[in-house]
Structure 1
Amino acid sequence: MFLGKVIGSVWATQKESGMENLKLMVVQPVDWNGRENGQTVIAADRIGAGIGEQVIVSRGTPARILFGSNSVPIDAAIVGIVDSFEVPGATEGEG
């Protein structure tokens, strides 16, 4: 899992089976100080994250099994919206 910030949305009218009615968000991985930390990813979102929010993202098989099928082509999923966090030395502790 990693911490990220939602920076955009993706609209796709044609999707693979199992992805119908699934919201896709563009997430920028960030470090504990809110600085960019890696390449952006497109993550499936069933919990209602919005642009500008800090989120927790799961990748790979753990993300896919959230959708109940190994055949769903999901590589990343937003699994939490961060309210706050505490890490000694970090400067940003709120989502």
Structure 2
Amino acid sequence: MFLGKVIGSVWATQKEEGMDNLKLMVVQPIDFKDAEAGQSVIAADRIGAGVGEKVIVSRGSPARVLFSGKMVPIDAMIVGIVDSFDVTDDTE
């Protein structure tokens, strides 16, 4: 899993079977100081995340498990919207 920020949406009128009614969002991975931390990804979203929100993203097989055994061709899934977090900085 990783922390990310939703930076956009993807519209696709033609999708593979199993992806019906799935919203697709562009997510920029970030670190705990809000700095970019990798290449942006397209993630499926069933929980209603919006542009500008911080989210938790699951990748790979664990993302597909959320579909009750259905074969869904996704690699990343938004699994949470972050309200807040607290990280202790031990580097000082």
Do both share a fold (TM > 0.5)?
yes
Percent identity reads 76
Matched residue pairs, number? 89
Instruction: Please name the residue that 2:25 is paired with.
Output: 25
Misfit runs of 4+, over 6 Å: none
How big is the shift at 1:70? 5.0
Instruction: Please name the residue that 1:71 is paired with.
Output: 71
Q: Tell me, which stretches of 5 or more residues in structure 1 are unaligned?
A: 90-95
Could you report, residue by residue, the CA deviation over 1:38-75 in whole angstroms, capped at 9, with x for unpaired residues? Answer: 00000000000000000000000000111223521010
Q: Distance in 2 between matches of 1:17 and 1:2?
A: 27
Instruction: Please name the residue that 2:52 is paired with.
Output: 52
TM-score by length of 2: 0.94
TM-score by length of 1: 0.91
SS in 2 for 1:62: helix
Q: Distance in 2 between matches of 1:23 and 1:79?
A: 13
